[in-house]
């Protein structure tokens, strides 16, 4: 799933990929200026 979120560095709206791995929902945020950020979106 693809969504939008804010870059933690520049606070711009950037493309974010939401995916599941090992039962956790992870976010991969891709900022053209600051690169890729990974975040846990939800865990049980």
Among 2, 4, 23, 33, binds Zn ion (CB under 5 A): 33
Among 3, 6, 10, 19, binds Zn ion (CB under 5 A): 10
Whether the Cβ atoms of residue 37 and residue 31 lie closer than 8 Å to each other = yes
Q: What's the rounded Cα separation, in Å, for the pair 34 and 44?
A: 29
* Binding status of residue 13 toward Zn ion by CB under 5 A: no
C-beta of 22: minimal distance to Zn ion in Å? 27
Which is closer to Zn ion, CB of 7 or CB of 16?
A: 7
Closest CA to 7 of 27, 23, 26: 27
């Amino acid at each position: 799933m693809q969504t939008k979120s804010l870059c933690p560095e520049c606070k711009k709206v950037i493309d974010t990929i939401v995916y599941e791995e090992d039962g956790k929902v992870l976010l991969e945020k891709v900022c053209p200026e600051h690169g890729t950020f990974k975040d846990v979106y939800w865990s049980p």
